[in-house]
């Protein structure tokens, strides 16, 4: 893979991670998780497609279709494995009152 191909792959993977975060929502750590996962899974899909000899949606040295499919699978797996996001309440807790016992 050439340097421009790798740069284009990083750009496409970053956009996919950002779009996934936009659709799912979440905090800054989730954004970092999605972008890192999209980079890893994009290039893993690229590597597997080159190893198997698949050539679909070629853009220069990139096989976009397998890489985008791998990115979708990776982002979905990361979301499932990370679990639900914990929301911080800001430290305000409701005190129990005598009326709560009734």
**Predicted confidence (pLDDT) per residue in 55-94, tens digit:** 888 888 899 999 999 999 999 999 999 988 877 666 566 6
Global pTM?
0.79
CA–CA separation, 99 and 83 (whole Å): 36
88 occurs within a structural domain: no
Structure tokens belonging to residue 58: 């070629």
Q: What range defines the domain where residue 42 resides?
A: 14-83
Q: How many domains does the chain have?
A: 1
2 occurs within a structural domain: no
Question: For the chain, first and last CA: distance in Å?
Answer: 70
77 occurs within a structural domain: yes
For residue 56, the model assigns a pLDDT of 84
8 occurs within a structural domain: no
39 occurs within a structural domain: yes
Structure tokens belonging to residue 50: 């080159």
* pLDDT tens-digit map of 3-45: 999 999 999 999 999 999 999 988 999 999 999 999 999 999 9
For residue 1, the model assigns a pLDDT of 79
70 occurs within a structural domain: yes
Rg (C-alpha) for the chain, rounded Å, is 20
94 occurs within a structural domain: no
CA–CA separation, 61 and 71 (whole Å): 17
């Amino acid at each position: 893979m050439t340097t421009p191909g790798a740069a284009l792959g990083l750009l496409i993977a970053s956009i996919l991670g950002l779009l996934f975060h936009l659709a799912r929502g979440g905090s800054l750590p989730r954004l970092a998780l999605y972008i890192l996962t999209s980079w890893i899974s994009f290039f893993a899909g690229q590597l597997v497609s080159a190893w198997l000899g698949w050539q679909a949606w070629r853009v220069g040295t990139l096989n976009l279709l397998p890489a985008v499919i791998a990115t979708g699978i990776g982002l979905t797996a990361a979301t499932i494995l990370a679990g639900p996001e914990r929301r911080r309440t800001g430290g305000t807790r409701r005190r129990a009152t005598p009326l709560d016992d009734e």
